[in-house]
Chain A
Amino acid sequence: MAAAHGIAAGIGGIRAAGDLVARMQVSRGMRLKEAKQYVAGKLGISVLDITDPVVMAEVREDLGLGTVNAIPWAAKGIDAKFRIASVLGIKINCVNLFKKRVGWKA
């Protein structure tokens, strides 16, 4: 069912910018239209580009937001989330906990 829902109506997660739009719903409770516009604005792309895996693969690699393919040196996991928090201007719970654990000084 996950695959069929994704093909019929999904943004595409980290293949595109689905996780980033979801971040705005999770962290600010934004409705979908507002969340898409916010993310597009922060990434400097159009709202239609948000679901385009070709455009987003380059944007994600350039900004270090994590990519779906395994690229050497590209951001992965928690380091991608550090960048996402910075680019979107939001707080991410696990990023803040990670900073606390390693004694991160801003």
Chain B
Amino acid sequence: MAKISTRMGDGFRVELSEEEIRKDLEEGSQDAAKKGKIPPLAEEDLRRLLEIFKCPDRSVGVERGKEVILTYDSATTKFKRGNVSVSKIQSLQIYERLLGSDTLELAHIDYSYKPVKPIVVFEQPILEQALLITIAPLFYGAMPNLGLYSQPDGPCPNPGDLLPKGKIAEARASYEEQIEHSVKDMVYVASQMYEAGADGINFDTTAAAGDAEFMATLKAISILKQKHPQMCVQMGMAAEFVLGMHGELKWEGVRLAGLYPHKQLELAQKVGVTIFGPAINIVNSRSLPWNISRAVTFVKACTEMARIPIHACMGMGVCGVPLTPSVPVDALTRATKAMVDITNLDGL
């Protein structure tokens, strides 16, 4: 039987039979269902996924009328990473006028709230000028990045040094202190940029440092929504699972460690997040059918219960997009089509 060309999670090409793809689709969905305690994909969904992988075309797309909104994390830094010598405002114009972007995001090259704090007065005039000449909604974004608050980069003792010595209470105390520092920085920067005219604030790769970082971001957003009830807040997650680096932190009685995307969404909605972005890890050693089916299962659990728009994080290495710096178009468009067609996504 003819083989179907697809890829592994790291992007390398692999040829699989229809039966092998079908098996990977089922196993990927079952893995998500088991871990997240959510329903697996229905037979009809698996059949649609199989059709996407059987299509021999290089790129695929969603049906007309099913198009979604696109948001871009750290948009202006992408041009710098590509060694393109344009200013941040020019980058935004390229996104809006040449790439057909629905939304824009201004960002500092050191993409975390802490390093933005001392230079926020330089970011505000750039934002103000950009707002005069662009039309699409313009976010300001950065990462909570709790790692910057422990020694040697920050003021608090490093839990990574304390935990191997068995100093668990001290490590937890350090995380609790880090939360307070980072909340102040996030509230300050987000307030400054919103008061300068930003349409929304993006908290990107939330909970990358685990439950303490998730707690800090929820706390910051809660304060910001009291201060500016109209502020649009986008929360993009770092991974499918909140790591229990502290282990005992709770938000309104809900333990943060171990939360999967649909449970993360519940808390995001409670604190007033406007747009939520689930991020599902890629597994390099498994095929793209396995990874995409797994990611779609997790995201579908979110879209089915959401009261707010869900924008799946579909950058490199998450939500079925291979973990490779130059993502192949065949892989990317299959992940996009699968996610939009099956989950009734609001954006990506």
What is the CA–CA distance of A1 and B348 in the complex, to the nearest angstrom?
12
**Are B275 and A10 in touch, CB under 8 angstroms?**
no
**Are A22 and B69 in touch, CB under 8 angstroms?**
yes
The answer to whether the Cβ of A62 comes within 8 Å of any Cβ in the partner chain is: no
Contact with A along B67-110 (1 / 0, CB 8 A): 11111100000100000000000000001110111110000000
**Are B135 and A19 in touch, CB under 8 angstroms?**
yes
Which chain A residues border B345 with CB–CB below 8 Å? 32
- Stretch in B170-178, B252-260, B327-335 with 4+ CB within 8 Å of A: B327-335
Q: Please tell me which one of the listed residues A9, A11, A27, A94 contacts residue B61 in the complex, with CB atoms under 8 A apart.
A: A9
Shortest beta-carbon distance, B264 to chain A, in Å? 17
Q: Is the interface of B mostly helix, strand, loop or mixed?
A: loop
Which chain B residues border A81 with CB–CB below 8 Å? 135
Contact with A along B191-233 (1 / 0, CB 8 A): 0001011111000000000000000000000000000001010
**Are B65 and A15 in touch, CB under 8 angstroms?**
no
Q: Is the interface of A mostly helix, strand, loop or mixed?
A: helix
Which chain A residues border B62 with CB–CB below 8 Å? 8-9
Classify chain A's interface size.
Answer: 35 or more
Classify chain B's interface size.
Answer: 35 or more
Please report which residues of chain A, range 7-21, place their CB below 8 angstroms from some CB of chain B when the two chains form the complex: 7-16, 18-19, 21
The answer to whether the Cβ of B2 comes within 8 Å of any Cβ in the partner chain is: no
**Are A66 and B135 in touch, CB under 8 angstroms?**
yes
**Are B131 and A68 in touch, CB under 8 angstroms?**
no
**Are A18 and B135 in touch, CB under 8 angstroms?**
no
- Stretch in B143-151, B181-189, B242-250, B307-315 with 4+ CB within 8 Å of A: B307-315
Shortest beta-carbon distance, A73 to chain B, in Å? 16
Q: Please tell me which one of the listed residues B64, B97, B103, B194 contacts residue A26 in the complex, with CB atoms under 8 A apart.
A: B103
Q: Which among A1, A3, A92 has the greatest number of chain B C-beta atoms within 10 A?
A: A1
Please report which residues of chain A, range 56-80, place their CB below 8 angstroms from some CB of chain B when the two chains form the complex: 65-66, 68, 76-78, 80
Q: Please tell me which one of the listed residues A13, A23, A76, A80 contacts residue B100 in the complex, with CB atoms under 8 A apart.
A: A13
| Contact (A93, B274) CB under 8 Å given A1-B327, A78-B132 | no
**Are B132 and A4 in touch, CB under 8 angstroms?**
no
What is the CA–CA distance of A66 and B93 in the complex, to the nearest angstrom?
13
The answer to whether the Cβ of A42 comes within 8 Å of any Cβ in the partner chain is: no
Which chain A residues border B308 with CB–CB below 8 Å? 29, 31
Q: Please tell me which one of the listed residues B101, B197, B230, B344 contacts residue A6 in the complex, with CB atoms under 8 A apart.
A: B101
What are 12 inter-chain pairs, A to B, with CB distance below 8 A?
A: A2-B95, A3-B99, A10-B101, A21-B69, A25-B275, A35-B346, A51-B67, A65-B135, A68-B100, A78-B131, A93-B198, A94-B131
Question: Which B residues contact A (CB, under 8 angstroms)?
Answer: 59-62, 64-72, 78, 95-97, 99-103, 128, 131-138, 194, 196-200, 230, 232, 274-275, 306-309, 314-316, 321, 327, 329, 332-333, 336-337, 340, 344-348
List 18 additional contacts besides A6-B101, A10-B102; criterion CB under 8 Å.
A2-B72, A4-B327, A4-B332, A6-B70, A9-B68, A10-B68, A13-B101, A15-B100, A18-B136, A19-B136, A22-B137, A25-B275, A25-B309, A31-B309, A32-B309, A66-B135, A68-B100, A80-B135
